[in-house]
Amino acid sequence: MEIELKVLNIDPELVREKLIAIDCEFHGREFQQNFMYDYPDRRLYDQQDGSYIRLRRRF
């Protein structure tokens, strides 16, 4: 599963809420262990124009 988001700021609670809504349950650090972030500049977001973040479920 891949989810691509364009964001200016990342609200971890909002990301968690959206993932739970599509039946991706996780608790605490399990989120960091079970999802990978792909982004070209190695940051979660670009404050200037936003950047794409891809969350890929690890199986």
Cα within 13 Å of Cα(50), Cβ side: 9
* Euclidean distance between CA atoms 53 and 41, whole angstroms: 11
Three-state secondary-structure class, residue 48:
coil
| Amino acid making up residue 19 | L
Output phi, psi for 25, to 5 deg: -90, 145
Place 41 in a pLDDT band, splitting at 50, 70 and 90: very low
Indicate the pTM of the whole model. Answer: 0.30
DSSP one-letter code for 38: E
Q: Say which residue, 13 or 31, is predicted with more confidence.
A: 13
Three-state secondary-structure class, residue 18:
helix
Q: Is the pLDDT of residue 38 over 50?
A: no
